């Protein structure tokens, strides 16, 4: 029994731990054994922290004995390697930070430690969270557990793949333009991008500061809600976090959603959506009608501009944020040349990968004299228009429903030489990110034998209603905790 514990959801594991039917050490050993079996194939992790995990598991068992356990005590968690962890290497998937060991914990790492969670490793990712396939990691690509020749999505592909492969029970990712939701869709798990300001960015290595948000990935909606309860709330070290008390997200689960109004923006079903994806999402919408919801087509006409807006604003902010990697203060440094300026130039040339360089150049150009008004400032104005359109939509609808990704997981290497095709992988997730809205992806079917994700978008700081609708759909649909077969590992 104990060697199969990696199959459990976090809430199932907590119940067994609470009843003292298993121990935290047994649960952690099961997950670590699963990592040992499938990690050479999947490559979901950059760093596996086995010794630390077992130490934390022993401490978690003591908390259960003392009656001070939380729903996450003893639960094996993967943390995306863009989130700093005290004393544990944090690379952001880049050679620039290959040997960086942070002297402090991020806010979310503090919260996980306080809850008694067990960190089993730092998950692989696209370098500095810039990518949609986890092929842009300096440490090699991650493979999709459902099809080893396919990408897991990105940039949180390692986190999503780890959850799908049983290499952890829940994980943390970060989402700037879709980096939690898109890999969750491609890997057949649940991923939530909270409202901008719901979760502190303190200790998150910055990419696009007005867009970045940390969020949970799990095998079902309840696990995602439990993680958000742990990591959400005000943090005085991040002035953008919401100062209002945070509601208990699990309190919203299990409610009847009859009468809920669901808007379906027609712009998300435009050219480029694979027929199999469209069919799965349309079947999901009919299921909402069966659950008593009012489902109605609507329009968000500025949606088509979100891609352009994002790829001006995010690279511009990246250009500013990544200026700190100069080979002087910390991280990789090439000091083999004659002058400081030559050393700086070669440090950045060797330390950054091609996609990071591409986005730095895009952003620097958009911010440069003579182009700022034409590009960056105009993008910010269109961002406001997109925000206003969503606000009007939520005057009528409780949630909006769309595909998460226009396609299922695509073959490894198929888009690496076509940046625009890669960027289009996030076309359905970008609008909510640009507006700062909460959005969740959950499995809604299959196409070509691969998972399809349904995206639900909620109003600002209305994650409770979003999780309530997602949970009702999940219970009706019955996908939760479905695991893929992985060659070389024990299969379901």
Active site residue 80: yes
pLDDT digits (tens, 9 = 90+) for 241-263: 999 999 999 999 999 999 999 99
Q: Rounded CA gap, 45 and 48, in Å?
A: 6
> Six-digit token pair at 275?
């027929």
Q: Read off the pLDDT band of 337 (50, 70, 90).
A: confident
Q: Rounded CA gap, 234 and 239, in Å?
A: 9
pLDDT at 492 over 50: no
Catalytic residue, candidates 159, 179, 200, 319? 179
pLDDT at 272 over 90: no
**Region for 423 from its dihedrals, namely left if φ exceeds 0, alpha if ψ lies in -120 to 50, beta otherwise:** alpha
Q: What is the pLDDT of residue 334?
A: 85
Closest-CA residue to 207 (of 112, 311, 103): 311
pLDDT at 486 over 60: yes
Which residues are CB-neighbours of 184 under 8 A, at least 6 positions away? 153, 160, 190, 191, 217, 404, 441, 442, 453
pLDDT digits (tens, 9 = 90+) for 388-427: 999 999 999 999 999 999 999 999 999 999 988 999 999 9
pLDDT at 489 over 70: no
Catalytic residue, candidates 80, 122, 174, 302? 80
| Count of C-beta atoms within a 10 Å radius of residue 374 | 10
95-100 mean pLDDT:
96
179-199 mean pLDDT:
98
261-265 sheet: strands from edge to edge: 45-48, 118-123, 76-80, 170-175, 213-218, 190-193, 439-447, 450-457, 399-403, 261-265, 294-298
51-66 mean pLDDT:
98
Q: What is the pLDDT of residue 339?
A: 87
pTM over 0.75: yes
362-380 mean pLDDT:
92
- In angstroms, how far is the first alpha carbon of the chain from the final one? 13
pLDDT digits (tens, 9 = 90+) for 13-58: 999 999 999 999 999 999 999 999 999 999 999 999 999 999 999 9
Active site residue 155: yes
Active site residue 239: no
CB 265 within 8 A of CB 299: yes
The domain made up of 1-492 has a fold known as Amidase signature (AS) enzymes (3.90.1300)
Q: What is the pLDDT of residue 2?
A: 63
**Mean pLDDT of the chain, nearest integer:** 95
Q: Read off the pLDDT band of 102 (50, 70, 90).
A: very high
Taking each helix axis from N to C end, the angle separating 275-290 and 463-477, rounded to the nearest 10 degrees, works out to 100
Catalytic residue, candidates 155, 316, 333, 405? 155
Q: What is the pLDDT of residue 345?
A: 87
Q: Where are the domains of the chain?
A: 1-492
Q: What is the pLDDT of residue 491?
A: 40
The length of the chain in residues reads 492
Query: Does residue 51 sit in helix, strand or coil?
Result: helix
């Amino acid at each position: 029994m104990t060697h199969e514990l990696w199959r459990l959801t976090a809430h199932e594991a907590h119940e067994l731990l609470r009843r003292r039917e298993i121990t935290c050490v047994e649960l952690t050993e099961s997950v670590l054994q699963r990592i040992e079996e499938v990690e050479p194939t999947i490559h979901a992790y950059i760093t596996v922290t086995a010794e630390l995990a077992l130490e934390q598991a022993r401490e978690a068992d003591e908390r259960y004995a003392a009656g001070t356990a939380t729903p996450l005590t003893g639960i094996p968690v993967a943390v995306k390697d863009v989130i700093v962890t005290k004393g544990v290497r944090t690379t952001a998937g880049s050679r620039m930070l290959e040997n960086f060991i942070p002297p402090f914990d991020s806010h979310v790492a503090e919260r996980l430690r306080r809850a008694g969670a067990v960190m089993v490793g730092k998950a692989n990712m696209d370098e500095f969270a810039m990518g949609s396939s986890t092929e842009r990691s300096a440490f090699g690509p991650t493979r999709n557990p459902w099809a080893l020749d396919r990408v897991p999505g990105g940039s949180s592909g390692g986190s999503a793949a780890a959850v799908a492969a049983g290499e952890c029970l829940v994980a943390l990712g970060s989402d700037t333009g879709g980096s939690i939701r898109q890999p969750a869709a491609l890997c057949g798990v649940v991923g939530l991008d909270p409202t901008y300001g719901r979760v502190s960015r303190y200790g998150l290595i910055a990419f696009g500061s007005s867009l970045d948000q940390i969020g949970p990935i799990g095998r079902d909606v309840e696990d995602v809600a439990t993680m958000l309860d742990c990591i959400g709330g005000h943090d005085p070290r991040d002035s953008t976090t919401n100062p209002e008390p945070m509601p208990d997200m699990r309190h919203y689960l299990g409610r009847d959603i009859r009468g809920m109004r669901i808007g379906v923006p027609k712009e998300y079903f435009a050219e480029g959506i694979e027929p199999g994806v469209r069919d799965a999402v349309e079947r999901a919408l009919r299921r909402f009608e069966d659950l008593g919801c009012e489902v109605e087509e609507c329009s968000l006409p500025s949606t088509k501009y979100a891609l352009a807006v994002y790829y001006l604003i995010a690279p511009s902010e990246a250009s500013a944020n990544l200026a700190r990697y100069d080979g002087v203060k910390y991280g990789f440094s090439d000091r083999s040349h004659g002058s400081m300026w030559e050393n700086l130039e070669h440090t950045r040339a060797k330390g950054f990968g091609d996609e990071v360089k591409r986005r730095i150049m895009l952003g620097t150009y958009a911010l440069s004299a003579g182009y700022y008004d034409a590009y960056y400032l105009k993008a910010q104005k269109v961002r406001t228009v997109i925000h206003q359109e969503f606000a009007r939509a939520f005057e009528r609808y409780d949630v909006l429903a769309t595909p998460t990704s226009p396609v299922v997981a695509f073959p490894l290497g198929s888009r690496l030489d076509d940046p625009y095709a890669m960027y289009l992988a996030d076309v359905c997730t970008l609008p909510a990110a640009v507006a700062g809205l909460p959005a969740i992806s959950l499995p809604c079917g299959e196409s070509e034998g691969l998972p399809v994700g349904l995206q639900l978008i909620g109003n600002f700081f209305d994650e409770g209603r979003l999780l309530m609708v997602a949970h009702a759909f999940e219970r009706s649909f019955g996908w939760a905790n479905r695991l893929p077969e992985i060659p070389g590992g024990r299969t379901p």
